[in-house]
Amino acid sequence: MTATPFSNLAKRSVGAGNPDHLPPIDMVRMRAYRLGRLQAQIRRLDYAGAVLFDPINVRYATGSRNMTVWMLHNAARYCFVPAEGKAVLFDFHNCEHLSKGLETIGEVRPARGFFFYSAGNRMKERADAWAKDLDDAIRKHIGREKRIAFDHLDPLGCKALERFGYEIHDAQEPCELARAIKSPEEIACAGHAIAVCEAGMARMRDELRPGLTEDAIWAILSETNIRMGGEFMECRLLSSGARTNPWFKESGERVIRPGDLVSFDTDLIGPFGMCVDLSRTFLCGPAKATDEQRKLYGLALEQIHYNMDILKPGMTFREFGEKAWRIPNAYVANRYSCVAHGVGLCDEWPKIPHAQDAARSGYDGTLEPNMTICIESYIGEEGGPEGVKLEQQVLITETGCESMSSFPFEDALMS
pTM of the model: 0.93
Q: What is the dihedral of CA 288, 293, 299, 303, to 10 degrees?
A: -90
pLDDT digits (tens, 9 = 90+) for 54-99: 999 999 999 999 999 999 999 999 999 999 999 999 999 999 999 9
pLDDT-derived band at 172 (thresholds 50, 70, 90) equals very high
Please give the class, per CATH, of domain 181-413: alpha beta
Residues of CATH 3.40.350.10 domain(s) within the chain? Answer: 6-179
Identify residue 353 by its one-letter amino acid code. Answer: P
pLDDT of residue 11: 67
E-strand spans in 104-258?
Answer: 105-110, 147-150, 167-170, 232-233, 237-240
CB count in 10 Å sphere of residue 103? 12
pLDDT of residue 238: 98
Distance of CA 144 to the CA centre of its chain: 35
pLDDT digits (tens, 9 = 90+) for 28-51: 999 999 999 999 999 999 999 999
6-179 folds as Creatine Amidinohydrolase; Chain A, domain 1 (3.40.350)
Residue range 350-373: average pLDDT?
97
The pairing of strands 275-276 and 268-269 is antiparallel
Residues of CATH 3.90.230.10 domain(s) within the chain? Answer: 181-413
pLDDT-derived band at 5 (thresholds 50, 70, 90) equals low
